[in-house]
Amino acid sequence: MPSFVKNPKDFLAGLLFIVVSAMFAFGDVDLPIGTAFRMGPGYFPMILCIILAALGIAIMTNGIRVEGEAIKNFTWRGLLNIVLPIVFFGATLRGLGFVFALGITVFAVSTASLHFHWRTALINTVTLVFFGWLIFIWGLGLPIQVWGPWVGGY
Amino acid sequence: MSFNVLTNLGMGFEQALSLLNLFYCFLGVLLGTLVGVLPGLGPVATIAMLLPITFQLPPTSALIMLAGIYYGAQYGGSTTAILINLPGESSSVVTAIDGYKLARQGRAGFALFTAAIGSFFAGTVATFLIAGFAPPLAAVALSFGPAEYFSLMVLGLAASVALAHGSLIKAVAMVILGLLLGTIGQDLYTGTPRFTFGMTELADGLEFIALVMGLFGIGEIIRNLEDESERNVFAQKVASLIPSWAEFKSTIKPILRGTSLGTFLGILPGGGAMLSSFAAYSLEKRIAKDPSRFGKGAIEGVAAPEAANNAGAQTSFIPMLTLGIPSNPVMALMIGAMIIQGIQPGPNVITEKPELFWGLIASMWVGNVMLLVLNLPMIGMWVKFLTVPYHVLFPGIIAVCCIGVYSVSNNAFDVYTMAFFGVVGYVLVKLDCEPAPMILGFVIGKMLEEYLRRAMLLSRGDPLVFFQRPISAVLLILAIAALVLVLIPSVSKKREEAFRE
């Protein structure tokens, strides 16, 4: 963080709001704005973008002017070990089927904890896959294949 | 309370006491108690996980179950707070202060009993209050035009900002961000796709369930993994639950005060369980003869907040049921559940779906009775659940989130959306931005835009219409007053103190 930033939380939050507002403003240019009488699809979002950008600038300025505490304990390990397996689940559920997609996902997210131990994680995985199947597929009848085509299912 | 209300309540009890609904009510409060007891899993994430499953249920049963999770969590949260000094639920934060001290003095039974009785009493009062107040309020709302609705929603959002903790300006920005995310998808009037950035999956907008699960489920798990210090279960045997008469008498007044405060704060937009419990605790401390007892095991510090959070949890259904406006994220999910079932939330629900409306209200009282039974004699079982370590628990939560969000429309895109908002939720919390106002903005966004556009059409583009119609003007002035009030230095200092306690 550059030295002129006194409150990194405010500075980054402000920046985030500005970036999001810019993204939406970029998407808004193609939409008809209309008039206050007959508002087009772009009118309401345009107002929101302007307000959000203004607030973002105010919050960011605050982050330069007023002293505040730094961001503590940000856990990359937790973040990546949780989010990537979830993406994996979405990407492979159709191909691998319920058992392998969920099993691998559950085992992988278990590594996010500092208390990870392969034996507990494996037992946990087997239990969760079994009960997941029991409740969601056998019980509630969700249309998810148990074994996908990649592992010899049909 | 009129005769009419009683006949209607009778019909409601007929609904609530049917075998099917009794079962779902029981399931709801059981799950609610469980997630309330377990720290790190709250009612918002749980209700979001179960929403997709309620597709298959009849509407009344679905809402009865989901409501049970919410007020059941208020009961469960106090158990964890008292026994291990760790609030199972954000609304039990203040209960932990004095409740845990009582437990260490060997009076855990007394504290648990007071919490349960207080919650039960408050729940009963709140049930009858909803029955009495909701119908007239809905009748008033029927005369509302687009301008009034617009102003009402602005008031709701303003109040949720004023009552959120942390920086006011960030909370406003979060509401706007939520509104903006709500505009993704087809435009209501012209069908033009907006902000889909070329992704066809976004044509119907962001999936609400994926958004909530990401922000409150996944984001919360990542945050919990920051600090994995072991929790200590205060594994002392919970001796006699029933207090002496003198002890019991000392809890009556705090319970009454907590109930009234919680009932009132629950109705306010932006209110609900958490705010009520905080306010009740500071009230007790202020009026106590000897405030120094607080923090050292004062029973008032358990009785009042626990009554207040249950009352607040239940009365926060009033704006949702009568106006179709959510006052907190849980109510936003309830509205989502209604829409899934094909019910348009709003003042018409009472007249068009009386069995749903009255059945839900009656089920709250039935649920409170069940909770009393679940919590007092079975407290030992709940304590056992606390020994499940978090690193065993969280993969299960993720598994249910993944399956649940996929099953909404059998679509992997919703899973990616959830993962994305998990990251967003974590980052926002790290930047001290509360996600709750954003969820409200997201839910209200489409309605807000629709009413704005309709009101402007009717007024031929004159924005003064919002101030020319008396009800609308009053609502907008209240909204401005709520925001200005928080900005006044002395009030804002008090607000910070209240949230820090």
A17 has a chain B CB within 8 A of its CB = yes
Using an 8 Å Cβ cutoff, are B196 and B203 in contact? Answer: yes
A33: which chain B residues are within 8 Å (Cβ-Cβ)? none
A114: which chain B residues are within 8 Å (Cβ-Cβ)? 225, 228, 391
Using an 8 Å Cβ cutoff, are B186 and B204 in contact? Answer: yes
How many percent of chain A have pLDDT more than 90?
A: 64
**What phi, psi does A36 have (nearest 5°)?**
-60, -30
pLDDT at A106: 96
| Distance between B247 CA and the closest CA of chain A, angstroms | 43
Highest mean pLDDT among A71-80, B19-28, B163-172: B19-28
pLDDT at A153: 74
Among A33-37, B37-41, B43-47, B305-309, the minimum mean pLDDT is found in: B37-41
pLDDT at B414: 94
Residue B232 has pLDDT above 80, yes or no: no
Residue B449 has pLDDT above 50, yes or no: yes
pLDDT at B474: 92
Residue A112 has pLDDT above 70, yes or no: yes
B412 has a chain A CB within 8 A of its CB = yes
Binned at pLDDT 50, 70 and 90, residue B440 comes out as: confident
- For the segment A98-121, the average pLDDT, to the nearest whole number, is 94
Contact between chains at A144 and B407 (C-beta distance less than 8 A): yes
pLDDT at B1: 46
B226: which chain A residues are within 8 Å (Cβ-Cβ)? 73-75, 78
Nearest residue of chain B to residue A38 (CA atoms): B457
Nearby residues of B322 by Cβ (< 8 Å), 6 or more positions away: B134, B135, B137, B138, B141, B347, B350
Q: Is the dihedral of CA B131, B134, B140, B141 positive or negative?
A: negative
Binned at pLDDT 50, 70 and 90, residue B50 comes out as: confident
| Distance between B250 CA and the closest CA of chain A, angstroms | 43
Residue bearing the bigger pLDDT, A113 or B486 = A113
> What is the rounded average pLDDT for all residues in chain B?
86
B391: which chain A residues are within 8 Å (Cβ-Cβ)? 110, 113-116, 120
Beta-strand (E) ranges in B138-297?
Answer: 185-186, 193-194
Give the integer Cα–Cα distance in Å for A129 and B262: 42
Give the integer Cα–Cα distance in Å for B259 and B238: 26
Nearest residue of chain A to residue B230 (CA atoms): A115
Residues 151-180 on B with a CB inside 8 Å of A are 167, 169-170, 172-173, 176-177, 179-180
- For the segment B312-328, the average pLDDT, to the nearest whole number, is 86
Binned at pLDDT 50, 70 and 90, residue B197 comes out as: confident
Give the integer Cα–Cα distance in Å for B500 and B151: 31
A43: which chain B residues are within 8 Å (Cβ-Cβ)? 453
Give, for A44, the enclosing helix (H) or strand (E): helix A43-65
Residue bearing the bigger pLDDT, B361 or B340 = B361
Residue A130 has pLDDT above 80, yes or no: yes
pLDDT at B497: 60
How many percent of chain B have pLDDT more than 90?
A: 29
pLDDT at B239: 59
A59: which chain B residues are within 8 Å (Cβ-Cβ)? 167, 169-170, 173
The tokens describing B249, both together, are 């008498």
CA distances A33 to A28, A29, A51, B311, B460, Å, are 9, 9, 16, 45, 16
- For the segment B492-499, the average pLDDT, to the nearest whole number, is 60
pLDDT at B415: 96
A24, A74, A115 member nearest B180 (Cβ): A24
> What is the rounded average pLDDT for all residues in chain A?
92
Using an 8 Å Cβ cutoff, are B471 and B144 in contact? Answer: yes
- At residue B23, the 3 state secondary structure works out as helix
pLDDT at A104: 97
pLDDT at B490: 58
A100 has a chain B CB within 8 A of its CB = no
Among A43-47, A115-119, B106-110, B193-197, the minimum mean pLDDT is found in: B106-110
Contact between chains at A49 and B410 (C-beta distance less than 8 A): no
pLDDT at B271: 67
pTM of the model: 0.87
A11-63: pLDDT as tens digits: 999 999 999 999 999 988 888 888 888 888 999 999 999 999 999 999 999 99
If you ran DSSP here, which 8-state letter would residue B272 be given?
Answer: S
Binned at pLDDT 50, 70 and 90, residue B230 comes out as: low
pLDDT at A136: 86
Residue B491 has pLDDT above 70, yes or no: no
Residue B234 has pLDDT above 60, yes or no: no
pLDDT at B500: 54
Residue B494 has pLDDT above 70, yes or no: no
Smallest Cα–Cα separation from B311: which of B358, B276, B361, B278?
B276
CA dihedral of B464, B468, B471, B473, whole degrees rounded to 10: 50
pLDDT at A118: 93
Give the integer Cα–Cα distance in Å for B53 and B401: 12
Among B1-10, B207-216, B445-454, B459-468, the minimum mean pLDDT is found in: B1-10
Annotated domain spans of chain A: 8-65, 76-151
pLDDT at B2: 57
pLDDT at B18: 93
B406 has a chain A CB within 8 A of its CB = yes
**B372: containing domain:** 3-230+239-500
- For the segment B441-469, the average pLDDT, to the nearest whole number, is 90
pLDDT at B201: 86
pLDDT at B492: 63
Other CB atoms closer than 10 Å to residue B390's CB: what's the count?
A: 19
Query: What is the domain count for chain B?
Result: 1
B412: which chain A residues are within 8 Å (Cβ-Cβ)? 90-91, 93-94
Smallest Cα–Cα separation from B414: which of B429, B401, B395?
B401
Contact between chains at B391 and A115 (C-beta distance less than 8 A): yes
Give the integer Cα–Cα distance in Å for B433 and A153: 46
CA distances B4 to B9, B11, B131, Å, are 8, 11, 10
A110 has a chain B CB within 8 A of its CB = yes
Contact between chains at B394 and A109 (C-beta distance less than 8 A): yes
**With helix as H, strand as E and coil as C, how does B200-213 read?**
HHHHHCCCHHHHHH
pLDDT at B390: 84
**With helix as H, strand as E and coil as C, how does B103-150 read?**
HHCCCHHHHHHHHHHHHHHHHHHHHHHHHHHHHHHHHHHHCCCHHHHH
| Distance between B314 CA and the closest CA of chain A, angstroms | 30
Angle between helices B245-267 and B300-315 (to 10 degrees): 30
Residue B99 has pLDDT above 80, yes or no: yes
Residue B123 has pLDDT above 60, yes or no: yes
pLDDT at B166: 75
A121: which chain B residues are within 8 Å (Cβ-Cβ)? 395
Nearest residue of chain A to residue B430 (CA atoms): A71
- At residue B87, the 3 state secondary structure works out as coil
